[in-house]
């Protein structure tokens, strides 16, 4: 099967980004959202992203016009009837996604593949809202979708191997680096990333460090493109809380319970950049945070890094993902300068294990203990 028509349902930041990825790669794309204002917002997001690329000289005006011409927008599911693939990028609410899949199942042609861009929910449960679970798959992009080169391809125990192979071929045609994995809460990257982000907000909630200290610590001492509070604002704090709830329901570990600071911001409607404020205010141009307190920065940087490296070691040990896929996911999905296993080999595994034990003893969090050898 060769794909020519691709549909995207949900035109928020991720949905609009996915539309751009496919349209740039030459596919005919139909973007559908639940209401006219949501359609307009998605269309405006695409236009903004393309005009940024044109003004930077990355794209000619003619190329930008050709990309725009390949996209149709609308608010009716029937527009998706002839699509070879439809990717759902709606908010992280299972009942909403299952409702969308049930509707897609009734309108999309029988040969069409249905994919979810869910960040952590069960692809298996979503597939069961349709009568074609063998043709349902996870295709998880990273924000901003046109920039991040990693995509997780999630198959369920019912996915047809042919469907998986077709999606892998399609993902490669987009110039993305793929990891093929099974259906587990948070998959590779979000399981690791969200625990790290939650850890940062737990530190913030405890008063040990400010948001500026946390952000400048990770930017300056590990060369991350963004600190944790800035990244939470970029992803959307509401989305992060939902992902953590799914992970927490699976692990039952206190470290996965969404941190109070995040939950409160969501309750107040301050969900991050998309709402105009989150950990930071976006009314004015966002300034890169800096903070001069080197001692606090070093401490929080080391704690966040060691807990995260321990999680990476534990994930690889379960056999869920390879070191290569974990490294690629964190570098190509989140723009980190080094993969965790590259960091571990630079620091030395023995040193990391000693630091894990010290962190566990100092904080009393058993989950930070190194794995038994
Ligand atoms: N859409 C399209 N392109 C964008 C963009 C957007 N929203 N934002 C930035 N870009 C492009 C710019 O045009 C620029 O392209 P160029 O190199 O070709 O000129 C490039 O990205 C770099 O942009 P800037 O110079 O403006 O800004 P930065 O250098 O500060 O980079 C960033 C911005 C790419 C967002 C970088 O800070 C980054 O990688 N941050 C980490 C983001 C991350 O971790 N994402 C994953 C989150 S987890 C997730 O999405 C999963 C979900 O399920 C929760």
Mean pLDDT along residues 295-315: 97
- The answer to whether residue 127 scores a pLDDT higher than 90 is yes
**Joined tokens for residue 69:** 């011409």
Ligand 1 binding pocket mutation candidate from 22, 144, 145, 146 (most atoms within 8 A of CB)? 144
3-class DSSP state of 144: coil
% pLDDT > 70, the chain: 99
Is 140 tagged catalytic? yes
Please give the CATH topology (third level) of the domain spanning 189-368: 1.10.1040
**Strands of 28-32's sheet, edge to edge?**
71-74, 28-32, 5-9, 85-88, 113-116, 136-140, 150-155, 177-182
What atom in ligand 1 is closest to the CA of residue 333?
Answer: 46
Is 155 tagged catalytic? no
Which residues line the pocket of ligand 1, CB cutoff 6 A? 49, 52-53, 56, 58, 119, 142-144, 146-148, 190, 193, 225-226, 231, 234-235, 239, 333-335
Ligand 1 binding pocket mutation candidate from 67, 90, 97, 147 (most atoms within 8 A of CB)? 147
Q: What end-to-end distance do the CA atoms of the chain give, in Å?
A: 47
- The answer to whether residue 170 scores a pLDDT higher than 70 is yes
* Ligand 1 centroid, distance to 211 Cα (angstroms): 20
pLDDT at 141: 98
The single-letter DSSP state of residue 331 is I
Domain ranges across the chain: 5-182, 189-368
Contacts of 167 (CB under 8 A, 6+ apart): 85, 113, 115, 137, 139, 153
Q: What would the pLDDT profile of 59-117 be if each residue is shown by its tens digit?
A: 999 999 999 999 999 999 999 999 999 999 999 999 999 999 999 999 999 999 999 99
Nearest CA to ligand 1 atom 45: 334
Of 45, 64, 117, 119, the active-site residue reads: 119
- Which alpha helices (DSSP H) does the chain contain, by range? 13-24, 36-55, 61-69, 94-107, 123-127, 161-173, 189-206, 211-222, 228-235, 237-251, 260-267, 294-318, 323-328, 334, 340-347, 349-363
What atom in ligand 1 is closest to the CA of residue 53?
Answer: 13
* Ligand 1 centroid, distance to 11 Cα (angstroms): 18
pLDDT-derived band at 285, boundaries 50, 70, 90: confident
pLDDT-derived band at 373, boundaries 50, 70, 90: confident
Q: What would the pLDDT profile of 314-340 be if each residue is shown by its tens digit?
A: 999 999 999 999 999 999 999 999 999
Distance from C-alpha of 150 to C-alpha of 266, rounded to nearest angstrom: 28
Q: What is the mean pLDDT of the chain?
A: 96
pLDDT at 1: 61
% pLDDT > 90, the chain: 96
Which residues on adjacent β-strands are paired with residue 2? none
- Considering the segment(s) 5-182 as one domain, its CATH architecture is 3-Layer(aba) Sandwich (3.40)
pLDDT at 270: 98
Mean pLDDT along residues 267-282: 96
pLDDT at 299: 97
Is 152 tagged catalytic? yes
Q: Computed over its alpha carbons, how large is the radius of gyration of the chain?
A: 21
Is 119 tagged catalytic? yes
pLDDT at 161: 97
Distances from the Cα of 352 to the Cα of 84, 176, 229, angstroms = 47, 31, 25
């Amino acid at each position: 099967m060769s794909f020519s028509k691709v549909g995207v349902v949900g035109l928020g930041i991720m949905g609009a980004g996915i539309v751009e990825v496919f349209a740039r790669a030459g596919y005919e794309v139909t973007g559908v959202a639940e209401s006219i204002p949501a359609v307009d917002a998605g269309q405006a997001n695409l236009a903004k992203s393309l005009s940024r690329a044109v003004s930077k000289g990355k794209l000619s005006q003619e190329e930008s016009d050709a990309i725009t011409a390949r996209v149709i927008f609308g608010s009716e599911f029937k527009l998706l009837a002839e699509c070879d693939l439809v990717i759902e990028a709606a908010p992280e609410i299972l009942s909403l996604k299952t409702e969308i899949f049930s509707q897609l199942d009734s309108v999309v042609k029988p040969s069409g593949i249905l994919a979810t861009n869910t960040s952590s929910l069960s692809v298996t449960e979503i597939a069961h809202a349709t009568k074609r679970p063998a043709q349902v798959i996870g295709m998880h992009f990273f924000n901003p979708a046109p920039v991040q080169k990693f995509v997780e391809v999630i198959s369920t125990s019912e996915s047809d191997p042919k469907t998986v192979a077709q999606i892998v071929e399609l993902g490669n045609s987009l110039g993305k680096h793929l990891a093929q994995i099974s259906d587990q809460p948070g998959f590779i990257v979000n399981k690791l990333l969200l625990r790290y982000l939650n850890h940062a907000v737990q530190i913030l909630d405890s008063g040990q460090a400010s948001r500026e200290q946390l952000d400048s610590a990770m930017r300056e001492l590990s060369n991350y493109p963004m600190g944790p509070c800035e990244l939470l604002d970029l992803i959307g704090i509401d989305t992060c809380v939902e992902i953590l709830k799914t992970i927490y329901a699976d692990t039952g570990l206190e470290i996965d319970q969404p941190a109070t600071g995040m939950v409160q911001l969501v309750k107040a409607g301050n969900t991050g950049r998309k709402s105009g404020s989150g950990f930071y205010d976006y009314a004015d141009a966002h300034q890169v945070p800096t903070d001069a307190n080197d001692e606090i920065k070093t401490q929080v940087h080391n704690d966040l890094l060691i807990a995260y490296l321990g999680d990476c070691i534990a994930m690889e040990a379960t056999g869920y993902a390879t070191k290569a896929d974990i490294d690629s996911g964190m570098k190509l999905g989140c723009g980190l300068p080094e993969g965790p296993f590259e960091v571990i080999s630079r620091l030395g595994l023995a040193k990391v294990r000693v630091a894990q034990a010290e962190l566990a003893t100092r904080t009393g969090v058993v989950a930070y203990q190194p794995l038994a050898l």
